[in-house]
Structure 1
Amino acid sequence: MAGLELLSDQGYRLDGRKASELRKVQARMSVFAQADGSAYLEQGNTKELAVVYGPHEYSMATFSTAERKRRPHGDRKSSEMSLHLKQTFEAAVLTELYPRSQIDIYVKILQEDGGNYSACVNAATLALVDAGIPMRDYVCACTAAFVEDTPLADLCHVEESGGGTSLSLALLPRSGNIALLQMDAHLHQDHLDTLMEAAMTACKGLSKVLDSVVSQHLKEFSVLTRD
């Protein structure tokens, strides 16, 4: 990325956003009739589909049996993503309401342009709401990174590839509890608070967006049931 100016002298990014400005988010719920809950989400040019099945009676997962299929080479990244999503939603879903049950969340990345984990979390949150799964709060996720001394929020692919340290945060906005925090490189602790603040502010902004999607969905659903 040498020679590429990620932030102009006027403080604008390559896509015209200001440093703290989120990418445009568009989302729909109940897009997959065969699932208990589903959602489609676009966060900038990153596009995700999330579906939820359950809660249903617990069964042994196929990957834990002796007849486990060999994973294709290079699948470590998706395995890490699955683990991170599991950790994230275990912090948010009221699992104590469903003893000896399981909830399956599947997320498909349809188009990548940065912030894949964050968009997966945001789509899965909407799918869980659609499925009627009780949670402590929405889980909202966003990325942040420094360009020189300026923290940028909600990174696109070009910004993620810029060489700086990026941070991914999943937040329960009302309580401020962190469901997951991940960094891809070392960062001096003097800069951590600034980057965390940028990510947390972005997550709180995303919670308002997700809340408006849910509200609009409920309005449309009430009209359909009335008719």
Structure 2
Amino acid sequence: MAGLQLLSEYGLRVDGRRPNELRQIRCKMGVFSQPDGSAYLEQGNTKVLAAVYGPHEVRLNRSKTHHDRAYINCQFSMAVFSTSERKRRPRGDRKSQEMDMNLNQIFESAIRTELYPRSRIDIYLEVLQADGSNFSACVNAATLALIDAGIPLKDYVCSCTSTLAPSQGGAPPTPMVDVNHVEETLGGPGLSMSTLPRLDSVVHLELSGTRLHLSHIDPVAEKAATGAADIMAVLDKAVRGHVAQCLHAREVSGQGADA
């Protein structure tokens, strides 16, 4: 990929998007019957499954309980076939453990844990295909799965990753939203931001890769926040569509029972 430009002379990215455009997001709730809640989300070519169990009583490990709130347990993993190189350890490595910790912090801030004392909520996330912004896609998929499970949230939890396209021809670096794998690899540092958009609250912020100059922090962060708000609109539409579909199915089944 030597010599590949992240932005063309017409201001288009390698996949044809403008710097402020999200990848296409497809999502579906209730994809499994065994968990209390589940969701499948595609963010471009990044594909994630999320499953939620709980809230349920903690029976074995009593140390992982809180008398005044629920204990949140997030587990992140990547399928061995999720990248071009086969992963030897799809879960349990240092990177996965770091993701688990960050996900725990995010959803402890977003879930109304005080409603479920001495209980536990398990959130399992599996990346089926990785093509950039994997962490953000997992946060968005987990939000849908939690809503499907009927667990109260303070707000939608939406995450987006932004980066900087290197300067070209004397032009300043350009912030880009919802980065793919090529942009993560060849672009500047990636800034992942998870927010509660309606509450105007940031619950997680992480900078990966090289250092980000102080003068670029605000535009890159603003791009990530705007992307998270746009993602919330997509998730909200999916949730409303899923609820309408469930209500319609209930009405149809009720009419069939009356007949």
Same fold (TM over 0.5): yes
The equivalent position to 2:216 in structure 1, one of 184, 187, 191, is 191
Partner of 2:232: 207
Partner of 2:67: none
Matched to 2:55, the amino acid is P
Cα deviations across residues 75-114 of structure 1 (Å, max 9, x unaligned)? 1111111111111111100101111111000001111100
Where in structure 2 are the equivalents of 1:160-199 lying within 5 Å? Answer: 160-184=184-208, 185-199=210-224
Between the aligned partners of 2:22 and 2:103, the Cα distance in structure 1 is 22
Task: Please say if residues 6 and 187 of structure 2, whose CA atoms lie closer than 8 Å, have aligned partners that are also in contact.
Answer: no
**SS at 1:203's partner residue?**
helix
Partner of 1:54: 54
The equivalent position to 1:124 in structure 2, one of 142, 147, 151, is 142
Partner of 2:243: 218
Cα deviations across residues 5-59 of structure 1 (Å, max 9, x unaligned)? 1100111001100001000000000001000000000000000000000001134
List runs of 5+ in structure 2 lacking aligned partners: 65-88, 167-172, 253-259
Where in structure 2 are the equivalents of 1:77-96 lying within 5 Å? Answer: 77-96=95-114
Partner of 2:182: 158
What do you get for the CA RMSD once the two structures are aligned?
1.9
Structure 1 residue 8 corresponds to structure 2 residue 12: no
List runs of 5+ in structure 1 lacking aligned partners: 65-70
The equivalent position to 1:109 in structure 2, one of 116, 127, 130, is 127
Between the aligned partners of 1:47 and 1:162, the Cα distance in structure 2 is 21
Between the aligned partners of 2:239 and 2:39, the Cα distance in structure 1 is 10
Where in structure 2 are the equivalents of 1:19-34 lying within 5 Å? Answer: 19-34=19-34
TM superposition shift of 1:74: 7.6
**SS at 1:105's partner residue?**
strand
Q: How many residues align?
A: 221
Between the aligned partners of 1:111 and 1:38, the Cα distance in structure 2 is 17
Question: Taking structure 1 as reference, are residues 104 and 77 closer, same or farther at Cα in structure 2, changes over 3 Å only?
Answer: same
Question: Taking structure 1 as reference, are residues 111 and 96 closer, same or farther at Cα in structure 2, changes over 3 Å only?
Answer: same
TM superposition shift of 1:2: 3.5
The equivalent position to 2:164 in structure 1, one of 137, 146, 159, is 146
Matched to 1:24, the amino acid is Q
Give the percent of matched residue pairs that are identical in Structure 1 and Structure 2. Answer: 54
**SS at 1:142's partner residue?**
strand
Between the aligned partners of 2:47 and 2:58, the Cα distance in structure 1 is 30
Matched to 2:193, the amino acid is L
Question: Taking structure 1 as reference, are residues 73 and 135 closer, same or farther at Cα in structure 2, changes over 3 Å only?
Answer: closer
Between the aligned partners of 1:3 and 1:59, the Cα distance in structure 2 is 57
Question: Taking structure 1 as reference, are residues 61 and 75 closer, same or farther at Cα in structure 2, changes over 3 Å only?
Answer: farther
Matched to 1:128, the amino acid is L
Between the aligned partners of 1:197 and 1:167, the Cα distance in structure 2 is 10
Between the aligned partners of 2:54 and 2:92, the Cα distance in structure 1 is 30
TM score, norm. by length of structure 2? 0.82
Higher relative contact order (CA 8 A, sep 6+): 1
TM superposition shift of 1:176: 1.5
Which of 1 and 2 has greater Rg? 2
Question: Taking structure 1 as reference, are residues 32 and 198 closer, same or farther at Cα in structure 2, changes over 3 Å only?
Answer: same
Give every structure 1 segment of 4 or more consecutive aligned residues whose post-TM-superposition deviation is greater than 3 Å: 59-62, 71-74
Partner of 1:67: none
TM superposition shift of 1:60: 5.2
Between the aligned partners of 1:60 and 1:188, the Cα distance in structure 2 is 48
